[in-house]
């Protein structure tokens, strides 16, 4: 099924089956695949084996980014576990599923897909906080204390902050401006603490907008704060960045092994900046692999397809990472429109997916091997030599 996803660039079972080019009827191939992925524990087994195989490649300096997305199914009626979710693309409420994704991102901006799972209150989910904690614990037991966890403002509530800063060795959580922290034994809103921060550090980022580089300048600063979890006080950092031109502020609550405010500010600013990579990952799997068009009547089937898609994306993003430039430059397919270096350093995975799909099209998962007696092989070899 992983091969079929990479070849067909689809999560439709009939398209996956057709791309495998099996010598069976299409309906028989679909039936054979469904007999596996519809098993109740199939998705869990795939996730466990995938995490066990990729965990050794995660380093202590990697960022473990969790973010939620949605699968919108506004025309679906009979899919199991459908409920009302917020469609982030159009900012509207409609039928669908909530999905939690966890990816590892290293200092070279390389992505390692780790975990993907949907949850539905119709299918027994107690709360989003509970599902997030289960997902984090599932990944943590494989990667142990490696990496720094990064979360957006959705994690700025007491339940999740207590969990992350209590159980994770390192963590970065973006805060809302009215969140209160303890600074010098007084509770203050973080937007009131900005005046206490020395913005002595400057950073410049280059972003691509409409195929043109745009440089943005930021000022950083950090102060030590404390956060109490179950009566135990934890020493953390409040890191604030602001745009020098527009003055926009970003508040980060940081648990780090760094010793000084300058080190913490630089490290957390870079780490949170890489969080955007998971947003690009969401967009990629939805557009190139038609995730939102998925047709699975059972909730177990949906979970299985998400687990298999994560494995397929690991091959695209990480397993064949040394081949990326060769695939774009030497595979014989011109997907570099402007022939600039920037096209090889931006988000290249749309192009990689297309090239891999084309190159894998002649392959089969199981080739028919014709067995013949040794004598026949020897006669054929003699004929070739003569």
The pLDDT of residue 130 is: 94
3-state secondary structure labels for all residues of the chain: CHHHHHHHCCCCHHHHHHHCCCCCCHHHHHHHHHHHHCCCCHHHHHHHHHHHHHHHHCCCCCEEEEEEEEEECCCCCCCCCCEEEEECCCCEEEEEEEEEEEEEECCCCCEEEEEEEEECHHHCCCCHHHHHHHHHHHHHHHHCCCCEEEECHHHCCHHHHHHHHHHCCCEEEEECCCCEEEECCEEEEHHHCHHHCCCCEEEEEEEEECCEEEEEEEEEEEEEEEEEECCEEEEEEEEEEEECCCCCEEEEEEECCCCCHHHHHHHHHHHHHCCHHHHHHHHHHHHHCCHHHCCCCCHHHHHHHHHHHHHHHHHHHHHCHHHHHHHHHHCCCCCCCCCCCHHHHCCCHHHHHHHHHHHHCCCCCCCCCCCCCHHHHHHHHHHHHC
Per the listing, tokens 């440089």 go with 215
Q: How far does Cα 130 stand from its chain's mean position?
A: 19
Q: Decide if pLDDT at 378 tops 90.
A: no
The two structure tokens encoding residue 126: 């107690």
Distance CA 265, CA 353 (A): 36
Q: Which of 67-76, 88-97, 271-280 has the lowest mean pLDDT?
A: 88-97
Question: Is residue 368 very low, low, confident or very high in pLDDT (cuts 50, 70, 90)?
Answer: low
317 with 301: CB under 8 angstroms? no
Q: Which of 39-53, 68-82, 258-272, 291-305 has the lowest mean pLDDT?
A: 68-82
Question: Is residue 280 very low, low, confident or very high in pLDDT (cuts 50, 70, 90)?
Answer: very high
The pLDDT of residue 255 is: 94
Q: What are phi and psi of 330, to 5 degrees?
A: -120, 0
Distance CA 229, CA 240 (A): 23
Per DSSP, the chain holds a count of helices (H) and strands (E) of 13, 12
Q: Decide if pLDDT at 383 tops 70.
A: no
The two structure tokens encoding residue 236: 């953390």
Distance CA 293, CA 305 (A): 12
Q: Give the model confidence (pLDDT) of 194-206 as tens digits.
A: 989 988 888 888 7
Q: What percent of the chain has pLDDT over 90?
A: 55
The pLDDT of residue 160 is: 93
Q: Give the model confidence (pLDDT) of 235-273 as tens digits.
A: 999 999 998 877 789 999 999 988 899 999 999 999 998
Per the listing, tokens 């070849």 go with 7
Pick the residue with more confidence: 209 or 325? 325
Distance CA 236, CA 244 (A): 26
16 with 360: CB under 8 angstroms? no
Q: Looking at residues 123-149, what average pLDDT do you find?
A: 92
The pLDDT of residue 384 is: 41
Residue 146: how many other CB atoms lie within 10 Å: 18
The pLDDT of residue 367 is: 54
Of the ranges 22-31, 82-91, 111-120, which is most confident? 111-120
Q: Which residues pair with 93 in a beta bridge?
A: 86
Instruction: Classify the phi-psi angles of 184: left when phi > 0, otherwise alpha if psi is within -120 to 50, otherwise beta.
Output: left
Overall pTM > 0.85: yes
């Amino acid at each position: 099924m992983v091969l079929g996803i990479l070849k067909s660039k689809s999560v439709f079972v009939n398209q996956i089956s057709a791309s495998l080019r099996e010598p069976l009827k299409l309906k028989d191939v679909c039936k054979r695949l469904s007999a596996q992925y519809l098993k109740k524990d199939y998705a869990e087994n795939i996730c466990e084996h995938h995490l066990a195989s990729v965990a050794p490649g995660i380093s202590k300096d990697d960022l473990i980014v969790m973010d939620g997305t949605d699968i919108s199914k506004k025309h679906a009626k009979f899919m199991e576990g459908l409920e009302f979710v917020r469609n982030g693309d159009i900012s509207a409420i409609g039928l669908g599923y909530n999905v939690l994704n966890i990816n590892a991102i290293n200092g070279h901006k390389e992505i390692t897909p780790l975990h993907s799972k949907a949850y539905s209150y119709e299918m027994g989910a107690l709360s989003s906080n509970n599902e997030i904690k289960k997902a984090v614990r599932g990944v943590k037991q494989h990667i142990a204390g490696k990496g720094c966890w990064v979360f957006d403002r959705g994690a700025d509530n007491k339940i999740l902050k207590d969990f992350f800063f209590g159980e994770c060795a390192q963590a970065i959580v973006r805060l809302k401006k009215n969140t209160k922290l303890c600074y010098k034994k007084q509770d203050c809103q973080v937007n009131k603490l900005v005046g206490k921060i020395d913005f002595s550090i400057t950073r410049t980022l280059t972003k691509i907008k409409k195929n043109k580089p745009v440089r943005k300048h930021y000022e950083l600063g950090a102060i030590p704060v404390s956060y109490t979890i179950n009566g135990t006080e934890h020493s953390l950092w409040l890191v604030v960045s602001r745009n020098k031109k527009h003055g926009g502020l970003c508040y980060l609550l940081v648990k780090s092994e760094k010793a000084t405010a300058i080190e913490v500010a630089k490290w957390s600013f870079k780490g949170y900046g890489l969080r955007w990579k998971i947003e690009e990952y969401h967009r990629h799997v939805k557009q190139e692999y038609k995730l939102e068009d998925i047709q699975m009547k059972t909730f177990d089937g949906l979970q299985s397809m998400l687990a298999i898609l994560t494995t397929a994306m690991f091959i695209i993003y990480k397993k064949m990472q040394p081949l990326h430039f060769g695939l774009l430059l030497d595979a014989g397919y011109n997907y570099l429109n402007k022939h600039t270096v920037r096209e090889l350093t931006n988000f290249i995975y749309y192009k990689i997916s297309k090239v891999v799909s084309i190159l894998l099209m002649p392959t089969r998962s199981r080739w028919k091997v014709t067995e013949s007696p040794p004598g026949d092989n020897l006669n054929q070899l003699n004929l070739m030599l003569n």
